């Protein structure tokens, strides 16, 4: 997980600079040439303070809590028929709530409040996952593990490089590489953390976010649970 966080975003940024990939911020906000006459007098004007987004934060927290509660009920019901991770129900409910809001227009599930909740949750998950590692129990296997880790790192970087070319050397491909490295060498949260680091600097990629989130956080666990259940009963 640590290596996934260390190489994911830097490798993606290297791809952007190496192949001069056009980023969303360059498209939406190109840097204009600034020409200031020498005889122009300038002054400093204090800008207005931005309002706080406490109501948005409370709204986002309420929506997340409702989705988690309904998702727990759904997971318990689905667990009677099929073995699934506990959070699958919450993901299904959250997807329904978000899409109903987008299509109906009666409410929104976005904004600074939701972004803050997402960032806090992501940081907490990654921190708790790393703190839960008991590395002292692996001291006797340190050398073999280091060799395996080095080989896996090289293989993943090469695979991500090939994937970048396959997906057309676009910004979406860069984000998929960053997310793929984090997901393959750590977890979905690592992939999302890598993508978030790149998005904050160069702009977001909704397509890449959808693919990594949908495949890494939902389809993989769902298919794995179905496959394990089927193999156990076979």
Position 34 pLDDT exceeds 50: no
Mean pLDDT score of the chain: 83
pTM: 0.72
CA nearest to 114, candidates 63, 172, 150: 63
Q: How many CA atoms lie within 13 A of 85 on its CB side?
A: 13
**Which tens digits make up the pLDDT trace of 109-163?**
877 888 888 888 888 887 887 787 777 777 777 788 889 989 999 999 999 999 9
Q: Work out the pLDDT band at 226, boundaries 50, 70, 90.
A: confident
Flag the least confident range among 61-70, 78-87, 199-208. Answer: 78-87
Position 39 pLDDT exceeds 80: no
Q: How much is the pLDDT for 88?
A: 82
Q: Work out the pLDDT band at 217, boundaries 50, 70, 90.
A: confident
Q: How much is the pLDDT for 85?
A: 77
Q: How much is the pLDDT for 185?
A: 87
Q: How much is the pLDDT for 28?
A: 62
CA nearest to 206, candidates 195, 219, 217, 193: 195
Q: Work out the pLDDT band at 73, boundaries 50, 70, 90.
A: very high
Q: How much is the pLDDT for 78?
A: 87
How far is 163 from 156, CA to CA, in rounded Å? Answer: 10
**Residue % of the chain over a pLDDT of 70:** 89
Helix or strand run (H / E) with residue 207:
helix 206-214
Number of H helices, E strands in the chain: 10, 0
Q: What is the DSSP string of 47-65?
A: PPPPPP-HHHHHHHHHHHH
**Which tens digits make up the pLDDT trace of 149-196?**
899 999 999 999 999 999 999 999 999 999 999 988 888 888 888 998
Across 41-45, 89-93, 158-162, which has the greatest mean pLDDT? Answer: 158-162
Asked if 25 and 175 touch (Cβ cutoff 8 Å), the reply is: no
Position 36 pLDDT exceeds 50: no
What would the two tokens of residue 158 be? 């090469």
How far is 23 from 201, CA to CA, in rounded Å? Answer: 10
CA nearest to 85, candidates 228, 231, 183: 228
């Amino acid at each position: 997980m640590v290596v996934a966080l260390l190489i994911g975003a830097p490798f993606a940024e290297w791809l952007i600079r190496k192949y001069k990939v056009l980023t969303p911020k360059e498209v939406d906000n190109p840097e204009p040439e600034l020409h200031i006459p020498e005889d122009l007098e300038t002054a400093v004007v204090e800008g207005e303070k931005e309002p706080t987004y406490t109501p948005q934060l409370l709204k986002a927290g309420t929506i997340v809590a409702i989705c988690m509660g309904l998702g727990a009920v759904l997971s318990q019901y689905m667990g009677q028929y099929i073995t699934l991770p506990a959070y699958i129900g919450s993901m299904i409910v959250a997807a329904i709530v978000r899409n109903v809001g987008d299509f109906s227009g009666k409410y929104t599930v976005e904004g600074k409040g939701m972004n803050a909740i997402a960032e806090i949750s992501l940081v907490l998950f990654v921190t708790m996952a790393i703190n839960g590692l008991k590395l002292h129990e692996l001291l006797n296997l340190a050398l073999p593990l280091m060799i395996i880790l080095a080989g896996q790192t090289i293989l993943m970087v090469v695979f991500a490089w090939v994937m970048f070319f396959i997906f057309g050397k676009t910004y979406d491909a860069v984000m998929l590489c960053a997310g793929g490295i984090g997901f393959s060498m750590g977890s979905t949260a690592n992939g999302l953390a890598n993508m978030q680091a790149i998005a904050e600097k160069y702009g977001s990629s909704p397509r890449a976010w959808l693919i990594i989130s949908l495949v890494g956080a939902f389809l993989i666990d769902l298919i794995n649970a179905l496959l394990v259940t089927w193999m156990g009963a076979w």
